[in-house]
């Protein structure tokens, strides 16, 4: 029983490319994002992983990333579950705005607080803590049991939904997790102990 969990942030989206707050909006992958997802699949294939289950959000950039990865692996038949609990953080009134325009409107310090604090949400949106409040129960009840039973599981999701999950897996403080950057299209491989704690962690970045 390998008890392997793989996390992948979706490849670059069109809105990432344009420096826009994306949140729950649904832009597609950019050409670079497709290349990143393809490379993630190739790296996982070299690693020799076979998956029993896959999870993703209800947003197409994560879903397409997952499809590309599974196709590269030659495992397109892996049962896949989509759930809103794995969606990106909702940026509320910031959604769709260019990040530089948001700084001009509210000030650099305020926008930095909204982007990088743990528990302060932008107007009408979610904080990282709010995002974790939906990610953690979903993981505990629907994903973790599959991993602990010996199923290899892959999750293709978003920077903040995965950041919340990494916070729990790695036992990070709020200050530590908000400083974590998550690269697009780079698989993170966890091997869990039988008690759900992390035995090993590897980032396939090169």
Beta bridge pairs of residue 29:
13
For the segment 45-91, what is each residue's pLDDT rounded down to a tens digit? 999 999 999 999 999 999 999 999 999 999 999 999 999 999 999 99
* Annotated catalytic residue within 10, 36, 72, 126: 10
Confidence of residue 1 (pLDDT cuts 50, 70, 90): low
> Which residue out of 36, 72, 88, 126 is catalytically annotated?
88
* Rounded distance between C-alpha atoms, residue 19 and residue 107, angstroms: 17
Whether residue 200 lies in the annotated active site: no
The answer to whether residue 141 is catalytic is no
Of 32-41, 55-64, 110-119, the range with the lowest mean pLDDT is 110-119
Q: Range of 196's domain?
A: 4-203
Structurally, how many domains does the chain consist of? 1
What is the CATH number for 111? 3.40.50.1240
Half-sphere exposure of 2 (CA within 13 A, CB side): 14
Helix axis angle, 159-170 to 128-138, nearest 10°: 70
| Per-residue model confidence as pLDDT tens digits over 142-189 | 999 999 999 999 999 999 999 999 999 999 999 999 888 899 999 999
């Amino acid at each position: 029983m390998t008890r392997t969990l793989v996390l992948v942030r979706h490849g670059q989206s069109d809105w990432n490319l344009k420096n826009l707050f994306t949140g729950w909006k649904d832009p597609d992958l950019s050409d670079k994002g497709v290349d990143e997802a393809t490379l993630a699949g190739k790296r996982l294939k070299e690693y020799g992983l076979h998956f029993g289950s896959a999870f993703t959000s209800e947003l197409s950039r994560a879903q397409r990333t997952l499809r590309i990865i599974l196709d590269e692996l030659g495992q397109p038949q892996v049962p896949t579950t989509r759930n809103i609990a794995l969606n990106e953080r909702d940026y509320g009134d910031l959604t769709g705005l260019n990040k530089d325009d948001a700084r001009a409107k509210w000030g650099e310090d305020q926008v930095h607080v909204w982007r990088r604090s743990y528990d302060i949400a932008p107007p009408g949106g979610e904080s990282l803590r709010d995002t974790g409040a939906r990610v953690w129960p979903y993981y505990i009840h629907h994903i973790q049991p599959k991993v602990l039973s010996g199923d290899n599981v892959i999750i293709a999701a978003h920077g903040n939904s995965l950041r919340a999950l990494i916070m729990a897996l790695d036992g990070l403080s709020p200050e530590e997790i908000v400083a974590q950057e998550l690269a697009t299209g780079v698989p993170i491989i966890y091997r869990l102990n039988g008690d759900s704690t992390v035995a090993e962690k590897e980032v396939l970045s090169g």
